[in-house]
Structure 1
């Protein structure tokens, strides 16, 4: 609770305004009485706060529905459409982008394929096309874009530079934040993709309400994101969760058990190979089941190490391979039960391939809140 000693009424009004904004965000239009009930303020106080928020530009009165009889109660809403956010997922083979309002409600999504060995400028151009496509679909001008949050493969420093990327060599030592600012005139945030995926699972997915989570980012490449005490854990040097860098964990090459399985037809594109193996295992093919077993053996080794260190409430199997959770989840649980002192819940992601882009949106919303809606600062007048 903020310190209100000395009868600081302006401070009290500020805190009341923040309480009202929290009540309105994510809710439909609310009447003055409903707002007063949710905030614990008196109706006269709530009316005064609503007026101040309208003057600041964050709240507007909603006109009555057509055909409404009598004198309808005034209703108010948070102006989530006064600006827009974009989340981007930079993967090895695909660039995904999503457009949202200031509440994080996703309004449009696009995807751009890109080859793993694409030159740097080609990969950056794919990002620009994906973001521009979202703006076009959402009928949003680039001048209305407040923030872009990018989740990318690789190890990221605090300045938004990709300092290492095993999967995409051209991505190493890249000032990604700087290149993004050259393309788009707005604030840019850069974070590791697995961390954003973990965040999305605690906000929108199967780990909602959990404070300690290990997220297994399982697909054509492997990664992990950690949630500790309800917050994304980056570590001292932003290298937390990089189990794939430990050769003994066997994560880096683990997907090759599925990609190189004998059941995969010759000529199958690399992005589809693992899917053939997983589908064959689902149908009981012994060769495919053996390949899946080897893959899970490698996956469980690194996962068990993180479980033993962190003792999480939930382990989430996410990423592209989570669509085959019916094949992977049972063997993974068995392996963890043999290795771990206390068995956490093991759940399959419901977000699938969308986990990173959804997490990027949530990351942008959090930063917006920190800048505009904190007891130390706001709510500030509606400006960029």
Structure 2
């Protein structure tokens, strides 16, 4: 259905003003009708009509009288975030996070467990759906599912909600993730790259709040970036923007990346690379600390390398320093090209603290132009693992309450039971 084919004859300009009023109230601060009139530049009668429509639809309610400013006091308006819920998830290479949030993105419940995304979509999504069902069953009062949002650790064709040739996700290429989840829960679903949803989480609730030009970088098993431009997520033409893990950083054919190419940043500096090179250091005798870990556990992880580096192990220090330097080189190129005001670093490798981040910062500032780096800040993510679930909730809410989508369901009072709403891949 096109954005012009709106329910019950609502005109496009009516839907635009409805969405604007709703967004202003969702933004917080308990505004009144006069506040909305001043803020949105709409006529007083238009604002009053739209507020009434939104109250009748069950999306807003009126609260206490606001303090008088000299005229007749007005009532504060509140978004009814509790009338529906959102199912949200972030899948990583080795971990699954699933949660339930209200319509304002506030977490209501969360579950985290180990998983192997390489097990394929059937097994992984079946487990995710089981967790979703358990979270819904645990609610004291049943609430309808208004939407589903999920981040995947690979390239996602956003308009179709499916991963495309994801290097670390065998068996997932072209799998209809969105269609499966929307059919299962009879609600619209949206699927995006995991780093994009993390960037949204930081933009809305983290240190990226109110930033217009932001770069979120996840350095985990793989490496990716989420780009915020003019305060909006930039996905690119096909949804593949920010896939910096497969930028070539070395002319070295000896290390094959899981994408099939050589010299990729991810293959040389990501968590998988640290694990691989740490194992080699342990087996060769170059790292006594890692050799002890290997003898005790039978494996080496990226966390083992960062922990050993923090304890002063020379081989681990060298690996973590090299990772920070290589990531920093790519980010310096992005700084010169894109000129962000803030770079937020997340992911398990960033837990290496000053060793990794110190080298990354030195490289970025040293290789960026003076103007592009003059006011640039580079910080670690304060949200940590929570960024993905928060961002997935905002992804869904932004879509549901966009003019393009809102006009198709508001006359029914709810998008529940409308899995078709996400078919157009609307990008609010």
- TM-score over 0.5 for the alignment? yes
CA spacing shift, 1:183–1:22, aligned 2, 3 Å? closer
1:362 aligns with 2:400: no
Structure 1 length normalisation: TM-score? 0.82
SS at match of 2:147: strand
Q: 1:222: which partner in 2?
A: 223
Q: How many angstroms does 1:14 deviate by?
A: 7.3
Find 1:305's aligned residue among 333, 339, 354: 333
CA spacing shift, 1:273–1:151, aligned 2, 3 Å? same
CA spacing shift, 1:77–1:230, aligned 2, 3 Å? closer
Q: How many angstroms does 1:362 deviate by?
A: 0.9
Q: Distance in 2 between matches of 1:178 and 1:101?
A: 22
Q: How many angstroms does 1:37 deviate by?
A: 4.2
Q: Distance in 2 between matches of 1:86 and 1:240?
A: 25
Query: 1:98-130: CA deviations, max 9, x gaps?
Result: 211112111111123212432432212121123
1:248 aligns with 2:263: yes
Q: Distance in 2 between matches of 1:193 and 1:379?
A: 29
SS at match of 1:194: helix
SS at match of 1:201: helix
SS at match of 2:401: helix
Equivalences for residues 74-153 of structure 1 within 5 A: 76-139=77-140, 141=142, 144-153=144-153
SS at match of 1:191: strand
2:154 and 2:193 in contact (8 A); partners too = yes
1:258 aligns with 2:294: no
1:215 and 1:315 in contact (8 A); partners too = yes
Query: 1:308-337: CA deviations, max 9, x gaps?
Result: 221221111112333343332211110112
Equivalences for residues 29-68 of structure 1 within 5 A: 34-37=32-35, 39-40=37-38, 51-61=52-62
Q: Distance in 1 between matches of 2:23 and 2:238?
A: 33
Unaligned runs of 5+ in 2: 1-10, 66-72, 248-261, 279-286, 416-428
Q: Distance in 2 between matches of 1:283 and 1:241?
A: 33
Q: Distance in 2 between matches of 1:348 and 1:275?
A: 17
CA spacing shift, 1:140–1:234, aligned 2, 3 Å? farther
Find 1:288's aligned residue among 303, 311, 316: 316
Q: Which structure would you say has the larger RCO, counting Cα contacts within 8 Å and 6 or more residues apart? A: 2
Q: Distance in 1 between matches of 2:167 and 2:132?
A: 25
1:314 aligns with 2:314: no
Q: 1:69: which partner in 2?
A: none
1:18 and 1:378 in contact (8 A); partners too = no
1:279 aligns with 2:277: no
Query: How many residues matched?
Result: 362
1:169 aligns with 2:200: no
Q: Distance in 2 between matches of 1:226 and 1:45?
A: 36
2:399 and 2:405 in contact (8 A); partners too = no
Unaligned runs of 5+ in 1: 1-9, 65-71
SS at match of 1:251: helix
CA spacing shift, 1:378–1:89, aligned 2, 3 Å? closer
RMSD: 3.3
2:155 and 2:193 in contact (8 A); partners too = yes
Q: How many angstroms does 1:139 deviate by?
A: 4.0
- The answer to which of 177-186 and 246-255 deviates more is 246-255
Q: Distance in 1 between matches of 2:87 and 2:357?
A: 32
Q: Distance in 1 between matches of 2:318 and 2:46?
A: 67
Q: Distance in 2 between matches of 1:179 and 1:273?
A: 33
Where does structure 1 differ by over 4 angstroms across 4 or more consecutive aligned residues?
Answer: 10-20, 41-52, 61-64, 72-76, 371-374, 376-381
1:110 and 1:133 in contact (8 A); partners too = no
Q: Distance in 1 between matches of 2:50 and 2:120?
A: 53
1:160 and 1:189 in contact (8 A); partners too = yes
